[in-house]
Structure 1
């Protein structure tokens, strides 16, 4: 228990340090600077994500969610879609585990909400992320099945099929239709 706590302390110290990085006069890092403010912010997000994972492994879900939310509050200038979505996925996974352990529907709904945020970000990111949108929507449909929400499941699968049609993913459409039948 002592080692993970030390790791958390070090990560939090690193997160605090990112605020100390100031932009240079030239807008880029100079030979004296290690990071631009954008680099430092991104590292802070990585550190908070690592803290969240440590808390998740320690079975402290509320602290994990808190760390993920702190990471989401940091403004990442280049809007790294993969990084931001990894945070929403982390939050969703934790809510799913809480819901399954305690049979709490509220947490399943929070997981769906987090996955919806991730899908929305992927959708805004453009065509290169459409398969990620589809994968995220499948996760939502899986939770809706657990919650016994047939109308919602069907609506989600229809959304998936529409995206797969746009991608001309016939095999994906067949797989999704097969899942509807199950």
Structure 2
């Protein structure tokens, strides 16, 4: 699915109280198998009524967007930050109304990593699998898309190209109490 800058994708939490719009083509669509994504997914899935975060094979599907192309259009006050450790530069944000994982924000970065499952009917096809060295024991991956042990050069190039297109800016994402 190829999008133009005038096109928009919608993402929402499971109950529909929190909604996002993402404009234009994503930077990338990938599945991550890193230990941090698996741990965060496990923690989120343990919350009452939480929908699945990880795929059955332990991977977490993401769609990466430039931060300046994503906005919360409803329910920002319901978003809550979670970090694996207090000093982590990566915060994962969920909709507290239904415990749906919404996005991952590497606070020093220019991109927002949206959970692919939040785009129910509009999810872009997976382009690659990354951090596959951390996948669970016994998980065999197909070769329908490239599988990378870490972050590939293609992955990094797409992030750098998106940053250059943004004029090397790093916008901040407001949500929760900061969004009011």
Same-fold status (TM-score > 0.5):
no
TM-score band, normalised by shorter chain? under 0.3
Larger radius of gyration: 1
Name the one with the larger strand percent. 2
TM-score by length of 1: 0.24
RCO higher in structure (CA 8 A, sep ≥6): 2
Name the one with the larger helix percent. 1
